[in-house]
Amino acid sequence: MNRAFLTRFAWISIAAALVTMGLKAAAYFMTGSVGLLSDAIESVVNLAGGIMALAMLTVAARPADQDHAFGHGKAEYFSSGVEGTLIMLAAVSIGWVAAGRLLHPVPLEAIGAGLVVATAASLVNLGVALLLLRVARRHESITLEANARHLLTDVWTSAGVVVGVGTVGVTHWQWFDPAVALIVAANIVWTGVKIVQRSVAGLMDKAIAAGDVAAVQKVLDVYRKDGLLFHALSTRQAGAQKFVSMHVLVPGDWAVRRGHELLEQIEADIRRAVPAAIVFTHLEPLDDPVSWADEKLERPAPPPAFTD
């Protein structure tokens, strides 16, 4: 399946980042709120993340070639990993500014107008985040999901900032604004860590989801009833692409054609159960002891050969 169309959603994310960055910067200059400044800084990260997402989605959409026989899907993990790192760097900068303002409070100005502008920016982010999350789930794109999660975090961040600035306007507690910014920074760090962890798991060839593994086992159970056996089942996921491999054990007196037709049927059934999966099967005779030597994922090395 050609996934090049997903890049259009990265462009939407970039456009939203530019709009919200401008709105939040305007809100900051209106009020002088360090909370709104932290919100604006995160929008800069949103822009960088959107650009990275666009680049990696473009790479991931390339078809398999001689040097990349399994495609380019893992490029998506680089995008989400970079975005997670950028989120954490933004949190550090927010915390630094907020700590300085906490020690040296500054009165806020034009609070009402600033809150209106900040709220408008949050609504833009919310709409784009929900769109990206829906598309990410439908097409299993970790890049768009990371982008959507970041934008949703931005929405919650903005909500906290609006509450903080509004509280300052009512109570005149100037310290409350930077205090909220510090809480926002901590929340951003948590989101960034989760995104980076998931990206690393993908780069380490993590197994496909438990539900998909159960679907594969359900297919194999049908064949087990006919006396066939399976072992060395392994799975991995690279971006949206899923890989399933296994050894299929059949009676040793079967003809090659019969075994081949069986494997074709098993692979087709698994692809129906786990859409977009690439399935690898290896045929082995039940009555050969060597077939059982590779029952585990890693086959033991053969003993060294001795010559006279």
Higher per-residue confidence, 38 vs 52: 52
Residue ranges covered by each domain of the chain: 4-203, 210-293
Average of per-residue pLDDT values in the chain: 78
Round the CA-based radius of gyration of the chain to a whole number and report it: 26
pLDDT in tens, 172-231: 776 776 777 777 777 778 777 877 877 777 777 778 888 999 999 999 999 998 888 998
Question: Which pLDDT does position 263 carry in this prediction?
Answer: 94
C-alpha–C-alpha distance, residues 265 and 268, integer Å: 5
Provide the CA 143 distance to its chain's centre, in angstroms. Answer: 5
On whether the CB atoms of residues 83 and 153 are closer than 8 A, the answer is no
Higher pLDDT, 305 or 275: 275
- The pTM assigned to this predicted structure is 0.57
- CATH superfamily of the domain spanning 4-203: Cation efflux protein transmembrane domain (1.20.1510.10)
Look up the CATH superfamily of 210-293: Cation efflux protein, cytoplasmic domain (3.30.70.1350)
235: enclosing H helix or E strand = strand 229-238
pLDDT given at position 264: 94
Tell me the two tokens of residue 62.
Answer: 């390339």
Residue 306 pLDDT > 60, yes or no?
no
- At how many degrees (to 10) do helices 7-31 and 142-171 cross? 10
Alpha-carbon separation of residue 158 from 90, 142, 190, 288 (angstroms): 15, 24, 16, 65
